[in-house]
Amino acid sequence: MKQTKSIATDKKLNAPLPVVSGLRLTKQRQEVYQTLLEKRDHPTAGEVFKRVRKKLPTISLATVYNCLEALVDHRLVRQVNFERKSSRFCPNLVEHGHFQDTSTGKVYDITIKDGVDLADFINLPEGVCVQEAEINLRGAVADS
């Protein structure tokens, strides 16, 4: 029984920031990452700052920006931009798009149909190699 709660599991719960070459492990980065995992509502840097401060009251906003940048650079987090508003951050690494409800501003992940490839629906010019693809939708949600 005790065995079922393995160290590995604990690590996964409390320190899930993967060890990646070139990314030094700091408590700020771990907490920022943990915060993104805990509530996947696509928070802005300012929102992440507010949440992380509950655990690390002395963290600075610049550090939150630094951490988010490091996580994005190392492909552990995706940065989502809608219309030059504040960037939002998303720990979902599965290829997906985003939908923003124009009345609430809330952002939701949109999954892509299985087996669909970019080249299936857009005309890519010769010789281009797509490194990042962003699909951002905005619209209304029927209130139910």
Query: Does 84 engage in binding with DNA (CB under 7 A)?
Result: yes
Asked if 25 interacts with a copy of itself (CB under 8 A), we say: no
Sign of CA dihedral 22, 27, 31, 32: negative
Q: Which helix (H) or strand (E) holds 36?
A: helix 27-38
Using alpha carbons, select from 29, 65, 30 the residue that is nearest to residue 46.
65
Altogether, the residues listed in the chain come to a count of: 144
Residues 67-126 that bind a copy of itself (CB under 8 A): 79, 81, 83-84, 87, 97, 99, 101-102, 108, 110-113, 116, 118, 120-126
51 in contact with DNA (CB under 7 A) = no
Q: Enter the tokens of residue 65.
A: 């920006």
Is the CB of residue 136 less than 8 Å from the CB of residue 119? no
For residue 104, what are its two tokens? 């609430």
- Closest distance of CB 88 from DNA, Å: 8
If binding is defined by CB under 7 A, does position 45 make contact with DNA? yes
In the list DNA, a copy of itself, none, the entry touching 66 (Cβ below 5 to 8 angstroms by class) is DNA
Sites of contact with a copy of itself (CB under 8 A): 79, 81, 83-84, 87, 97, 99, 101-102, 108, 110-113, 116, 118, 120-142, 144
